[in-house]
Amino acid sequence: MGDQYERRGRKNSAFQDSLTCINYGFPYRAHSCGECRLIDFVAPVDRVKEIPCQHIPLNASGETIEELEAEENQHKLEEEVKQWFRAKIEELQEKLQSESSQNQETLPPSAESSYCCKT
């Protein structure tokens, strides 16, 4: 993120002008926003908007990038996005650990022993 600047005639956007965006680096929208991994975090009603990721609720108050950008407080925007990313990463890690432990419980005893070294 960093300081605000003008790019393609508009201010930068937290997701849209970062490597997070599937269209990052393109001077046009090469891919539909529906192909983006962030679309899962957008409410169904907001998925039809021009830039759906701008409407992801970032905090308990439900503030979105669009709302935070309107406040023109870059530091607050960056902090909210960082906290949102950290929370989502933690949620995904916990989900993976849970799924992994469930898969371990379902392995038959012979499957586990086949991975052991035999001397």
| CA 52 – CA 119 distance, rounded (Å) | 58
| Residue 6: per-residue pLDDT | 42
pLDDT per position as a tens digit, 59-98 = 999 999 999 999 989 999 999 999 999 999 999 999 999 8
| Residue 5: per-residue pLDDT | 38
| Residue 2: per-residue pLDDT | 42
29 Cβ contact list (under 8 Å, min separation 6): 23
Segment 13-28 mean pLDDT? 86
| Residue 103: per-residue pLDDT | 76
| Residue 106: per-residue pLDDT | 64
Q: Name beta bridge partners: 11.
A: 6
| CA 83 – CA 20 distance, rounded (Å) | 15
The identity of residue 65, as a single letter, is I
CA dihedral 29, 35, 38, 40 (to 10 degrees): 140
